[in-house]
Chains A and B, each alone.
Chain A
């Protein structure tokens, strides 16, 4: 049973380019969370999605950032016109749709995408 998969693992972009980060949840999971980890800090919540729905984007920056989780395919976090401050590790986590609260609130993380903006 494959875990959460993210690609690419490393991404280098120049200022002003677009970054697309992909996340495939664990088999049987339909809830996806995105987090950002800045150097020397813990992870910060960005957005929570279910298939075809953004449920909670309270942690997303208001501009340049967007996320989607289509009916088919991986979830995508998109950063337009990247700036140096976007350099960070971006982690995706998934949780199951079924089960009690203890199951649904347990999140399993992917290996992350490390974005470097030059």
Chain B
């Protein structure tokens, strides 16, 4: 079974300061991992994905994440927060079911606030 734990339900940063959103996963096999962002009353947008290639993954809008197998972590970072980054972020692990579907298992989300 696989699971995802997002360690912070809320993170607040000042504009222009670094962002760190933490995610730990549990998986019985080599996982694929994703970060999605959800703006209020909007759908989910794919930020980046790790699929067993390079461990440092660059995504859109200046975000990146590093896969660390020894720590079972996939933390999301950005060097400098922008007001438009305020949203909810979901760490996701994919699971190939016996029926052949790629089910996504979501963390509970981290709400990022950016203070002017």
Tell me whether B46 is interfacial, beta carbon within 8 Å: yes
CB contact under 8 A between A35 and B101, given known A43-B90, A105-B96, A106-B46: no
- Residues of B participating in the A interface, judged by any CB pair closer than 8 Å: 32, 34, 36, 41-46, 49, 51, 90, 94, 96-97, 99-109
Tell me whether A110 is interfacial, beta carbon within 8 Å: yes
A43 to B45, CA, bound (A): 13
A44 to B49, CA, bound (A): 19
Q: How distant is A70 from chain B, measured CB to nearest CB, in Å?
A: 19
Name the one of A41, A104, A109, A110 contacting B102, with C-beta atoms under 8 angstroms: A104
A110 to B41, CA, bound (A): 12
A42 to B34, CA, bound (A): 14
Do residues A107 and B43 form an inter-chain contact, with CB atoms below 8 A? no
Do residues B109 and A102 form an inter-chain contact, with CB atoms below 8 A? no
Chain A residues with CB under 8 A of B44: 43, 91, 93, 109
Q: How distant is B116 from chain A, measured CB to nearest CB, in Å?
A: 26
Name the one of B51, B97, B106 contacting A43, with C-beta atoms under 8 angstroms: B106
Chain A residues with CB under 8 A of B41: 114
Do residues A58 and B97 form an inter-chain contact, with CB atoms below 8 A? yes
Tell me whether A61 is interfacial, beta carbon within 8 Å: no
